[in-house]
Structure 1
Amino acid sequence: MRVYDGIPFKLDEHLKRLYKSASVMGLTVAHSIDELKEATFNLIKLNGLDECYIKPLVYLDDSDISFMGRGCRSHVALLASEMKSNSELRGVSLEIPAWRRPSSKCHPYNAKTSSTYALSYLAYRARSPGVDDVLFLNEGSLVCESSGSNVVFIRGSELVTPRADNCLAGITRATILYELAPALNLKSTVRDIHVDELPLFDGALLCGTAVEVAQVNKIDSVIYPGNSIVESIFQSYRGLTIAGH
């Protein structure tokens, strides 16, 4: 989660997702949401961090050294790193990696787990020089997401984003689709997007807690010009974070 001016953004949503993810993995969270809220604010205050990124982790102790977790108890850690917000919209270039996202029958994309990012790490490290990030496809050549952010495409006044079958349904993604888009008179569509459709869109953006909103300038050989809708979404999202909602 991100902290702006000492206030965690979408704190309830992040903690609810933490509980849901733990439940998917068969783990219990040994603290109430109110206790984790208090711990989050204490962490911010004790470290004097007005703008930062906080990563909550649920993990098992070492009662069982295997992956099975027999007899283990779950614990929670909150890790904070200073991170300044983006005052200006930045552009990124993407490439499609050789790695493919496996089916949801092979991985629990409805939970935010560290296992998701093993593939992200490999693909990101193997990207070409000068490329900022990767854009994953699944084995059917449908668009998924970047190494750690959701992708949203623009066609006219419509926002189009992949279904969350092979990606995490991010909190920033939901904020854009269901809060900002209606306020900006934009239609939102969640559907499968085949890689062959990429040249048909007018623009694209990445969104996520860390990246906030970034304009996609290029995906492989597909180039997107500057898009006023991306700029409007960036400014609207920035307005939300500054307001502390």
Structure 2
Amino acid sequence: MERIIKVTDLCKNFYSKEGELQVLQDINFSLQQGEILSLLGPSGSGKSTILNILTKLLKPTSGDVIINGTIGYMFQRDHLLEWRSIMDNITIGLEIQKNKDPKAIKRVEKLLKTYDLWDFRNMYPKELSGGMRQRVALIRTLSVDPDVLLLDEPFSALDYQTRLLVSDDVYRIIKNENKSAILVTHDISEAIAMGDKVAVLSKRPSTIKSEYDIDLGLGESRTPFECRKVPKFQTYFDLLWKELDNNEI
């Protein structure tokens, strides 16, 4: 597989009147084409800082970041604009890019039809459930056809049942569209269920303590929900629980 992201010896310090705060220390990982990497770590370990560096919202203090492709960012909350229809929300990225290519619009229409949102295209966000809003947010991210998706705890605002359903939706869409993704989470079960690999971050200043390939033996039938039923799932859970510093999740 082609390597799409490589992060080498990444460090990030923040400076204030109180002094220097080292958040990231010698972070190393890579992401292959079509792969989902879960970044698992305790609160305050710099997971979102890593994503912000990948999107160039922040500059690293030192280290190298190589990205072979474009990036789309899906936030914790859907941030849909309530006064715009679902279609207008989804195409806002194309508007910002001033992309009027008919092929781009056709691609958005295909995404809406493929993932059961076409009949809702003229509705408004307030008319949709939380889970459906999050699906719209993902399609909005995909509308500009990024190579890599960055998912910053995208299910955290949802109740548990909806969270399970939406994670299945998001996983299916990412895999069907052959996208690569980095998922940030402090939820061990979510990291295992969604990730092809899980990288465990230490407490601040964070480094990657370990990395695990997740193989639950499901093959093409794998979904996050089905993953949770496999006995080996608990084995991975116990292993990752012990890896997290002081079980602070």
Give me the TM-score of the superposition, normalised by structure 2. 0.30
Which of 1 and 2 has higher RCO (CA within 8 Å, sep 6+)? 2
Give me the TM-score of the superposition, normalised by structure 1. 0.30
Q: Which has the higher helix share?
A: 2
